[in-house]
């Protein structure tokens, strides 16, 4: 694989970079940490880099700055669900990450899982409840324990593990604070493995082992130093590694994603990777998994950012042609 260099990115006409972050998402603060890491790294080169908050001042700021590319360091909410992507399409500003449709479907766990299931990928048994209607716990046809989570939120915000049906209503109401739909899903014993795609190639995978004090891979496990143990590359047999690569690429392809994505799976006791969700704008913080997977694939943090810049485009543009990518 030929590595993308700064000179290659500049030759493509990318000099002025707007890094977008924040907004009103529950993950806004994590997004700002990603943004700071991206801005610091790219500012060391010859680019002109400026950060922008994804709020009502964004349009004016972008029009004044006139960036060549918008680097999306947004997580969750309108920054990841296709809304911001559609806004940038209207302004004709190429952006990193996936397009409008892929972003929207990727943000919706129940809709992306429907497509994954159709393509033969394993997904958890799931009951979807629409907030504003009466919740009947007997409608959940499978046995506990359960994972209860917002349908369209990330970073484990609003997620609870439930050991019995009697606690379902409280957990559903809590998750419903963050999403109009709530998922009650089968809790699957197994190993938590997360994998990544970059420029349509399988980049690698990492196994996550949360601290024993945590009931699962919680917000604290993800972002607090020492909150979890990371094993990279994930210790898998050759056959499992190949299975994971195929699963990861198929999930990326079926949603027509671009740039990068990160897939969250559980390797169950039968040796099957069960897909939980896909992340179309993975975190870029010091504890995030994509940069760690990239590092084990031989890419520095700056290398990763340059390749994401190289893939930036609008929905209607042809993808960049680059040998080896």
Active-site residue, 264 included: yes
Superfamily of domain covering 126-186: ATP-grasp fold, A domain (3.30.1490.20)
Q: What angle do CA 100, 102, 107 make, to 5 degrees?
A: 100
Q: Which CATH class is domain 6-97?
A: alpha beta
Active-site residue, 283 included: yes
Active-site residue, 223 included: yes
Residue tagged active-site, from 32, 214, 262, 307 = 262
Residue tagged active-site, from 22, 23, 27, 154 = 27
The two beta strands, 201-210 and 190-198, are antiparallel
82 φ, ψ (degrees, to nearest 5): 100, -15
Distance of CA 170 to the CA centre of its chain: 27
Digit-by-digit pLDDT tens for the chain (325 residues) are 578 999 999 999 999 999 999 988 888 899 999 999 999 999 998 899 999 999 999 999 999 999 999 999 999 889 999 999 999 999 999 999 999 999 999 999 999 999 999 999 999 999 999 999 999 999 999 999 999 999 886 556 789 999 999 999 999 999 999 888 999 999 999 999 999 999 999 999 999 997 765 555 555 555 456 667 899 999 999 999 999 999 999 999 999 999 999 999 999 999 999 999 999 999 999 889 999 999 999 999 999 999 999 999 998 775 544 434 4
Instruction: Retrieve residue 270's tokens.
Output: 């039968």
State which fold the 106-122+189-296 domain adopts: D-amino Acid Aminotransferase; Chain A, domain 1 (3.30.470)
Give 313's strand partners. 95
Taking the CA atoms of residue 102, residue 103, residue 109 and residue 114 in that order, the dihedral angle to the nearest 10 degrees is: -10
Instruction: Retrieve residue 274's tokens.
Output: 């069960």
H helix runs in 68-178, sequence order: 83-91, 100-107, 109-118, 168-175
Active-site residue, 155 included: yes
Residue tagged active-site, from 283, 288, 292, 303 = 283
Residue tagged active-site, from 31, 112, 155, 288 = 155
Sequence spans of domains, the chain: 6-97, 106-122+189-296, 126-186
Distance CA(294)–CA(37), nearest Å, equals: 15
The pTM assigned to this predicted structure is: 0.89
Residue tagged active-site, from 51, 68, 277, 292 = 277
Q: What angle do CA 308, 312, 315 make, to 5 degrees?
A: 140
Residue tagged active-site, from 264, 292, 303, 307 = 264
Active-site residue, 79 included: no
Residue tagged active-site, from 223, 227, 303, 307 = 223
Distance CA(60)–CA(213), nearest Å, equals: 46
Active-site residue, 277 included: yes
Res 179: pLDDT: 86
């Amino acid at each position: 694989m030929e590595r993308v260099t700064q000179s290659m990115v500049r030759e493509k006409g990318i000099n002025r970079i707007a890094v977008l972050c924040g907004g009103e998402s529950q993950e806004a603060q994590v997004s700002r940490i990603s943004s700071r890491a991206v801005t610091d790294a790219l500012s060391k080169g010859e680019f002109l880099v400026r950060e922008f908050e994804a709020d009502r001042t964004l349009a004016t700021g972008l029009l004044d700055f006139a960036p060549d590319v918008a680097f999306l360091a947004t997580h969750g909410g309108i920054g990841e669900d296709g809304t911001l992507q559609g806004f940038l399409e209207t302004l004709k500003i190429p952006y990193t990450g996936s397009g409008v449709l892929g972003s929207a479907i990727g943000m919706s766990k129940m809709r992306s899982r429907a497509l994954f299931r159709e393509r033969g990928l394993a997904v958890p048994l799931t009951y979807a409840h629409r907030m504003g209607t009466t919740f009947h716990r007997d409608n959940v046809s499978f046995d506990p324990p359960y994972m209860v989570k917002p349908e369209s939120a990330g970073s484990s915000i609003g997620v609870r593990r439930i050991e019995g049906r009697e606690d379902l209503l409280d957990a559903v109401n809590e998750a419903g604070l963050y999403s109009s739909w709530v998922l009650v899903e089968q809790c699957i014993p197994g190993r938590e493995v997360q994998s990544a795609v970059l420029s349509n190639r399988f980049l690698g995978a990492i196994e996550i082992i949360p601290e024993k004090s945590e009931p699962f891979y919680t917000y604290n496990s993800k972002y607090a130093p020492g909150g979890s143990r990371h094993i990279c590359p994930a210790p898998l047999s050759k056959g499992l590694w190949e299975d994971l690569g195929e699963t990861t690429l198929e999930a990326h392809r079926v949603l027509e994603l671009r740039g990068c994505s990160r897939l969250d799976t559980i390797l169950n006791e039968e040796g099957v990777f069960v897909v939980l969700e896909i992340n179309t704008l993975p975190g870029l913080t010091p504890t995030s998994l994509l940069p760690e997977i990239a590092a084990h694939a031989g890419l520095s943090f700056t290398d990763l950012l340059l390749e994401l810049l190289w893939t930036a485009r609008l929905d209607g543009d042809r993808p960049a042609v680059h040998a080896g990518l």
